[in-house]
Every structure is written in C-alpha cells, then in structure tokens.
Amino acid sequence: MTLSPFWPARLSQHVEAPRTSLYYNLEVSATRYPDKTAIHYYGTAISYAQLRRDVDALAGFLQHRCGVKRGDRVALYMQNSPQFIAAYYAILRADAAVVPINPMSLQSELRHIVEDCGTRVMLLADELYENASPLFGELLHHVVVARYAEHLHDTADLPLPAVLSEPRHCHLEPGSSAQANGCDVILWRDALDTNEPASTHQATPSDLAIVPYSSGTTAAPKGCMHTHRSAMHVIAASIQWCQLSQDAIVLCTAPLFHVTGMQQCMNTAVLSGATMVVTTRWDPRCAALLIERHRVSVWIAIATMMVDFMSQPDLDRYDLHSLKCLAGGGAAMPEALAQRIQSRLGIPYMEGYGLSETIAATHINPPDRCKRQCLGIPLQDTESRVIDPHTLQPVETGTPGEIVTCGPQVFEGYWGRPEATRDAFIELDGRRYLRTGDLGYIDEDGYFFMIDRLKRIINVSGYKVSPAEVETMLFEHPAVQEACVIAVRDPRRGESVKACVVLRAGCHADAQQIIEWARTRMAAYKVPQSIEFLESLPRTASGKVQWRELQQRELSSA
C-alpha cells in the first residue's frame, strides 16, 4: 500500500480492530465506567450502566416475545435519541442485524425496505407511527413504540424540537399491549419492563450486523450487508485518527441512522467509553449551547450544518474553545466557510469521504495538513486507486478517473441482489476493489479529490438521492407523462433536486402543485425544489432519455 508523504506521523498504517461484536464494546465500557454519563439528552444524563440495562432488557424482549433469532433483520425507524442508541445495541445484543431507516422516509419508501430485507419486527418512534401502521400485520408482526420525551427532565433553558412536545400518535395506554391488524404493538417502557432475560450473546465478527440502505442508480434502494468486522474497522481506525479517548465529549447532531453519525459519533464513543451529547433535531443555537455547557471536544458535522452554525449572528457570545476535533463531509466545504471556521474555532474542518457500502469513512484529511474541498487520504489498511472507468486500468497522478477502494470496511454485497453485487466490484492485481461510481483524481501528495459522478446520484446535504427513484414516484402524479430528475447547485445543501416534467395532453398542473404533491409521498430531501416544464425530453436514437444533456445544460446555465 502506497502512503501519502503526509501520513500522520503518530499513526501506524495498520489498525488492530477488536475481534468481537459491536455489542461487546458497550459491555466493556459499561463494565469499566458504569457510573459515567454515556448520554446527555437535553438536560438528562444516562449512565453507561443504565444504558446497558435497557439494552439487555430490550434484547430479551426481542428474543422471547418477538422471536428474533441470530441473523434476523430488525428495522430501526427513529430520530436521534437515547432510545435509538439503546434499540441499536439491543438488536445487536439479540444477535440480529440492524436495518436503520431514514426517519424522513414515507410509506412507500418504508414499505420497500421492510419488504426487501424481510424483517417482521420494527422499533419505531411515536411520531412515525402513522407512516408505519399500514405495514402492520401485512409485513410487520411485532412493533415497539418509543417516545423520546420519556427521557426529558430539566430542559427549561434549551431550545427543544417540536417533536418532544407533540401529542401522542400511538394511543396505546401504558401497561397494555394491542393487536393492530394482527401485529403486536407495545410501548417502549412496557417492553423493557417484561423482564425477559436475554440469551447468551453469540454473534461473531463475521455475523451480519448492519444493513443500511443506499440509493443507487436504479429506482430501488439496496441494502448494504456489513458484518461486525467491517463496521469495527472503521470505528477503530477513526478513534486512532481523531485521538478519541474515554474523556472525549462527542456532539451527536449528525443523523445516527446514517453511516456517518452511526459510526463516527455513536459507535466510536461507545467503544471509547466517551460521552455522547445527543440532539433529536438540528438546531445551530442549541448546538452552540451544548458545546459550551458540556465542553464538547469532538463534533462530526456535515458541511450544511456548518453553514448554519457559522451564520449565527451572535456566535461570538459562546465559548467554543473545548472543540479539539471537527470533521465531516457530505458536500465539499466552501473555501470562505473553511477559513471562517479556522479563524473562529482555531481548528481545521477535516473533510472525509465514505459510502454506505463502506460503512462510513474510507478517506479523511490528516489533522495536521488538511486540504480544502478534498476527500483526504485513505484510512489505515485501506487502498484506493483511480482507474479509467472503461478500460479499468490505473491512470496517472492528476488524471481524472473512477475511484475504487479496497479495505476491511468494504461491504459483503447487496442484500438479495447478487448481480448488483457482482457489478459493484472489479479485481486489480488479485485484490477485490469496490467501484465507488465517483470520478476524481489523486494529486502529487497522495490526496484524493472528487470532481463528478459516474453513477447518477444527487448529493443533498450528504443524503444520496437516486433520480430514478424520484422519477418513478413522479410518474404516479396524474398530470405527469414523463419526468427527468437532475441536480442543481445549492449554496447551503451542496445540491438540490430539480425535475424536468412533460405534462399529459389535456392535463394542467403548476410547479408548486407538483412539489406539494411530492412532499406527501417522499422524504423531504428527495422532493424537487424546482420544476421545469418541457414539451419533450431529449432522447437517444434508441429512445433513452438523455439526462446528461439536461444536467449539462443546467450546470452551464448556473
């Protein structure tokens, strides 16, 4: 493996990751630091011992009341909260695999994932109950409903998200369970109070642990199969890279369902025995208050969050000097913003790069020599190359091509899709490399830069959007005959979604009507922010829509 000449001097190029399950990380930290605060949540402190008790109790319920067995998939449909963390580790404690679902997903998106991964059990949040209820009985047989506000105590001086004060959506009374269309429904606290002892933990490093869904070039998101081993490598490497210790205070504003927040915030903190400061919704003022109050030392924040955070007119009133590590990705960091961050916080913003297929990071900038708008250099035990996407041969330094990656964090394949798995890999010099679909180049210092995408993906604040998926949904609108979805530049989110639409003959609809219709059928980040009406879409001689022509026209006009 060729190293960048700017590889951090304090780091070995190899990391010896623990050869245990992810749940064992919690067991060790709870044994070492039982009384230490694992989670701060809007004024409430939860110790490692309490977190482990909740995890073990919920795991026993899943095994004995829901029939969860080793290798099963269990859906986790919640926003950031103590319940998300407990649910995540309880699923692992039950020897099952976590299927984290974006809480912005609506019914059709939710149905696809639940049906595709074959889960019959879901742990969900109360505010998402109505989205999931159509699946009760048909696909889901057991549901546990959590309400985040159960963990709230003294919160008078913190700005709280509305979801913490909303009326209940699940009207089940505490102390009772119910049948909804043949599905067993129980409240979170009642599930914990069943006092079913968890069976002996059996998961090994090679067992399936996490199945995050990644939007691809097709209309249907695909499940990325990760073992405890592949996830553990990123966790161990990131801890070394960021010098995370048990004394660290980690601000968890990044969504925990997403591989970045899951791995770089939650899982690194649990393995280290560090403290997590968790927020359910992003609020820049609340983030500043929490950094000051809890002396936050580590913050993983996507570029969009930093735009909001640094735009606060009264930011200078907060003491932010405790921050020692600030990193993220999702979109390229604007040069002017990066300079403001360095000037105000006294530390660089370390940009990184990863995929659902690699369970977060494959590249990150060295903390002592960050380059802006740069993916960084490959992590420990990770090799990346740039190849010609047509000949599959390596290209020269500085020459654009497709980025391919080989390392312990690369996934096993797509759940139930052997052909897509086969297409995702190539062999170079006897090693199996993942084709990222991202076009970039390597500079003379060994740093990787991305310039375009080979595969058709829109990056909205770090969330990957499949244009084909959005088009499929738009075709359901009664006035839409054809649609082609492209990316538009967005100063805050990096990119946003635009739809080029051809209306059916005799039908009428304006842009706002279609946008509002889309809001009821797809996650907010997938909804087109603008609509352009065309007489027809450009096509090839074989009839295929020339989306690249529309995309290039948009980029040229911008």
Distance CA 294, CA 130 (A): 35
Give the pLDDT confidence score for residue 155 in this predicted structure: 63
Mean pLDDT for the chain overall: 93
Report residue 548's pLDDT band, with 50, 70 and 90 as the boundaries: confident
Query: All domains of the chain, ordered by start, with CATH?
Result: 49-204 (3.40.50.980), 458-557 (3.30.300.30)
- Report residue 531 as tokens: 């609509």
Distance CA 406, CA 391 (A): 19
279: pLDDT strictly greater than 70: yes
Report residue 448's pLDDT band, with 50, 70 and 90 as the boundaries: very high
Arithmetic mean of pLDDT, 497-508: 92
Report residue 265's pLDDT band, with 50, 70 and 90 as the boundaries: very high
Least reliable range by pLDDT among 334-348, 453-467, 516-530: 453-467
List, for residues 192-229, the tens digit of each pLDDT value.
999 899 999 999 999 999 999 987 555 689 999 999 99
List, for residues 484-500, the tens digit of each pLDDT value.
999 999 888 889 999 99
CB 462 within 8 A of CB 304: yes
- Give percent above pLDDT 90 in the chain: 79
List, for residues 288-335, the tens digit of each pLDDT value.
999 999 999 999 998 889 989 999 999 999 999 999 999 998 777 878
Report residue 543's pLDDT band, with 50, 70 and 90 as the boundaries: low
Total-model pTM: 0.89
> Which residues of 324-424 form beta strands (DSSP E)?
325-328, 349-355, 360-364, 377-378, 383-387, 401-406, 413-414
List, for residues 23-71, the tens digit of each pLDDT value.
999 999 999 999 999 999 999 999 999 999 999 999 999 999 999 999 9
126: pLDDT strictly greater than 90: yes
542: pLDDT strictly greater than 60: no
Of 337, 336, 373, 334, the C-alpha closest to 353 is: 373
Give the pLDDT confidence score for residue 153 in this predicted structure: 82
Give the pLDDT confidence score for residue 156 in this predicted structure: 65
Apex 394 CA angle, 389 and 400, nearest 5: 60
Q: What is the dihedral of CA 422, 423, 426, 427, to 10 degrees?
A: 20
Give the pLDDT confidence score for residue 334 in this predicted structure: 78
- Give percent above pLDDT 70 in the chain: 97
List, for residues 141-191, the tens digit of each pLDDT value.
999 999 999 999 876 689 999 999 999 999 898 888 889 899 999 999 999
Q: In the chain, count of helices (H) and strands (E)?
A: 16, 29
1: pLDDT strictly greater than 80: no
Give the pLDDT confidence score for residue 457 in this predicted structure: 86
